[in-house]
A and B are shown apart, each in its own frame.
Chain A
Amino acid sequence: MTEVFPPDTVRCDACPVLCYIKRGHAGACDRYANHEGQLVRVDPHILLDRAKSQGRPLVPFLERDSPWDGQLLAQRETFVTAIGAGTTYPDYKPAPFIVSSQVDGIDMVTVVTEGIFSYCGVKLKIDTDRNLGPERNLVRAQGEPVGHVTTAEYGSHMLSIGGVHHLTGGSKSEGRVTCETLMDLCNGKEVALTIDDGARITVAAGEPPVVNGQREQRMRVGCGSATIGMFAKQWFGRVDEVVVVDDHITGVLSEHQAGKMLGVRETGISIQGRRSTPGRYFQVALPGTGWGGTNISDPLTILKPFKPKFAWPGLRLFMVSTTGEQFAYYELDEALRPIEKDLPNVLQESVTRIRENCEPALTTVLFMAGAGGSLRAGVTENPVKLTDSVKQSLTRVTAGGAPAYIWPGGGITFMVDVSRIPDNAFGYVPTPAIVAPIEFTLKKSDYANLGGHMESVRPLEEVLSEKERRRQVASPRNPWPLKPRTPGSHE
């Protein structure tokens, strides 16, 4: 052929049809496509294989091995995920796949669908002591409000992103950007966010957060006071005073119960801020991204002059942040002023110990959504029965094979750790709403009892026989979704 095709058109040589494939399109087989100028194989629907052994991340369904030898292939235990399964919304029709299989001699049914969720969002847990911004302040992506700051938890800050009001209640671009942000977060992509009167952050599921350009390393082991309690014995006798600087509770060894118990001598130290109980101080500085989540870069600014009645020249003072990332060592001169000195080796050890006890700082992303009536109608003709069955733990809910936590109370509101779901499982529709996989697995007899679409149940083998399925080894972190469960159990 002598025709001239647009640049980026690739010619597929996977078969003699030799399709010319334009960027973003698939060939005649729908199995090969042009992804950004590269010929790639696309297999949209994902099946999870229960791996007997690890080390095979992706196995193509259509094994390109020797020609058929007439032998029956050994059947692996396979779970059909909803990733790429499609959806029947808004029609009240049976879910796209209702699959029966035998597990340990019990007939199980898995109802597989992709839910279209406008009532959904993610909760971000960002492991950092640095202040991200005041509670309730808006979190923005590309300048659009996409969520807000909720609470600080132990060593972490929580953000709520998405929710129906950002998705559909605001301007068109607010909805679009919210949808994009949710999808990226759920698919493990990096997202840049800003918080009103707060920090600029870059977050991705399972990765350390970047706060104002600084990558977090470690979570604090405890608040300043707790750190004093944990390490008091190791400091005793090696240093006269220790201050653990923390935005929440700054701890002071000589005044702290732990120091008193060891018989640590009074040092005449005097701290800025509000004393809570002995050796514990609130608000020693403003929140920030400096020492221990405060705004300070010089720890001496939280100290008032030492009281001459108790202090003495040569007094050894050690100041450290709750993560051990910042530390300084001083000795008092004749005028009882702290003079910075090199950190003695014995104290270096305790800095190392504090760091060791600080776990890696991560951003974790929980997707949270409510399964609406029409989604439930795809499972059963009487949606409330599905809710009941889930509440009674007769039905296991998974998302892409990952276990979902079901919020108590009415409806089926679930939360799932996106890092346990296969890659790129989340999509969107222009509504805007998020498309997420959801599977309901239960005994076939229970399915019949709750008014399931029994006429649409298909054997697993039939689903496996269809083209365009992608097999993937199930994550060892997740319980096997097909394991028959006993009522009342919640794993």
Chain B
Amino acid sequence: MRDPAVIRMLPDGRRVHMNDGPIDLIIDANGTAHAIRAAYEAAARRFVSILDELCADLPLLRRRSTPSSPEPSGSVARRMAAAVSPYCTEHFITPMAAVAGAVAEAILSEMTRVAELDRAYVNNGGDIALHLTQHEHYGLGMAERPDSPSLLGSVQISADNPVRGVATSGWRGRSFSLGIADAVTVLAGTAAAADAAATVIANAVNLPGHPAILRVPANEIAPDSDLGAIPVTRDVGSLSVHDVDLALRNGQQLAGELRDRNLIHSAALCLQGQVRLVASSQYAHEFDLSPKSLQHA
């Protein structure tokens, strides 16, 4: 039995909640009342068909992305494929790595297409597409672990900053990870790009062969996983400070390369209380890591 999509106002009377299958969005917009209403209605209209569209391309989206992969038919699926293509020669990646960011982006672009909004966001389970104009900015809380609301610090993103997408990946999150990062938060030009990059960086925060890490073939847990029999992280025991440092360095190195290739803007990598930032010096001030979170390091 197909559950219908849920589209409802949250009790604050301001934000909208949309849910359909695994897609769960929180949307907020600022502007005139008229513009907000138009934007929400456009978002709702776009939302009701988005999951069916994606599912039509699902077999292709679950396959490894290669330079010769066929172009999917749906527009969201194409965003996904485009976001992962920069990684497809050096990494195992499927377009599914960018699904959350791509959906957020697609809904947001529909909202801004129909209405003049001062600022807006679409948050798809932690992967967020942002819209900012003029002097607007957003402050975002960063979680140390995707499964826990305790905040590691915050990020300030203003309109003059090119970041319009934020995504977080880690083995404790809803999607499988090949790595051991508790959370990798990436700021990038688009939500789909941030989503794909967070996935590959979180995969790179790793200690291959370490005995404290429990890995299980993905399809033993989810038979239809896009990762097939690739081992995914299910548990990470307590690691020595040295091992944590080593794993974070592995991720940091890749994040630095992605920043140099202009694929990402900046990233924060968290593992067992230690945090590493990768950011160009001109933007390092965006991250505010509260003293409380740093004392773990």
Contact = CB atoms under 8 A, between A and B. Distances in A.
Interface in A130-183: none
Given A15-B2, A19-B222, A25-B221, A467 B55 contact: no
Nearest to A30: B174
Nearest to B147: A86
A96 interface: yes
Interface in B186-206: none
Nearest to A76: B11
Interface string B123-154: 00100000000000000000000011111000
- The A interface is mostly helix, strand or loop, or mixed, namely loop
Given A14-B1, A16-B21, A67-B44, A464 B10 contact: yes
A17 interface: yes
Interface in B205-227: 220-224
A28 B100 CA distance: 12
B22 A29 contact: yes
B237 interface: no
Interface in B22-56: 22, 24, 26, 37, 40-41, 44, 48, 51-52, 55
A14 B17 CA distance: 18
A20 B223 contact: yes
Given A15-B22, A16-B52, A465-B15, A22 B221 contact: yes
Contacts of B296: 91
A465 B26 contact: yes
A461 B16 CA distance: 12
B22 A70 contact: no
Given A17-B51, A73-B9, A96-B149, A465 B2 contact: no
A462 B15 CA distance: 10
Interface size class of A (residues with CB under 8 A): 35 or more
Interface residues of B, number: 45
B20 interface: yes
Interface string A56-69: 00000011100110
B113 interface: no
A20 B174 CA distance: 16
A88 to B, nearest CB: 6
A114 B149 CA distance: 14
A17 B58 contact: yes
A28 B22 contact: yes
Contacts of A17: 21-22, 51, 55, 58
B229 interface: no
Contacts of A188: none
A28 B147 CA distance: 15
A47 B174 CA distance: 22
B12 interface: yes
A335 interface: no
A9 B13 contact: no
28 contacts: A6-B223, A9-B223, A13-B2, A14-B1, A19-B222, A22-B223, A25-B221, A27-B22, A29-B22, A30-B174, A63-B6, A64-B4, A67-B48, A70-B9, A70-B40, A70-B41, A72-B9, A73-B8, A73-B9, A75-B11, A86-B148, A91-B296, A93-B292, A96-B148, A456-B151, A460-B11, A461-B10, A465-B12
Q: Closest 3 CB pairs between A and B?
A: A15-B21, A16-B55, A29-B22
Given A3-B224, A67-B44, A86-B148, 5 more contacts: A15-B21, A67-B48, A68-B16, A73-B11, A91-B150
